[in-house]
Structure 1
Amino acid sequence: MVDILIAEDEPAILESLNFILGRCGWSVDSVHDGDAAIEAVRRLRPGMLLLDIMLPKRSGLDVLKAIRSDAFLKHVPVLILTARGQQYDRQIAAELKADGFVTKPYANNDVIQEVRRLLGSPAQG
């Protein structure tokens, strides 16, 4: 099982997230667009989804809506990660029952703390 599925289309951010979360001991997989995010959550059943709002093909908010309306997926914790820190995005994400919200640019430690809050500490080894 994958601990964290990252849905992010910006290569540098994706590489950074893969590195910092993998270094902490979590297993990580990634996708680059909203359609792939929904398919991967269904297929991989990750411990959580780290979800960018601005994604190609389908927005992160549409992905969150689809996950929350699926009986088999609605329990998956979703941490929203976005450059769009407007109150509107936070409000919509909260209404769709996002489990957390981190705004870019972010401190690595902020992301790690939110992942720990949602997943607990990784099993090392």
Structure 2
Amino acid sequence: MKYKYKLVILLMATALIGGCRNVNLTEGIESFRAQDYRRAFIRLKPEAEKGQPDAQYAIGYMYYYGQGVIEDRRKAWFWINKAASLRQKDALAAVQILNQGTMEKRKIFESADLQHFPVHKDMY
């Protein structure tokens, strides 16, 4: 009987911890869509550090354009590349564009197919 209680408590704790992670991701994406980039960065950075590819891509975007943070192309490349290594489709497209050597001349996200990223394409 004690085993069942421990199992129930463990399952509840796991669900609770997982729920907190989803709240950060959801609130971060909502803030990003609302163009509240500082709040989005605060919410998404921990998720990016935990390996969430959509959060990594968004953090890279914010660093690239200086949205909510000081513009830093090296950090942008780091996060976009991390997301691409996890097969995040928009990050893969951005890496391909960045590798063309046109980083200073065009927006890297302008021609990327952003349908897979949970942010509206018209924001770019």
Mark yes or no: TM-score above 0.5.
no
TM range (shorter): 0.3 to 0.5
Larger Rg: 2
Structure number with greater CO (CA < 8 Å, separation at least 6) is 1
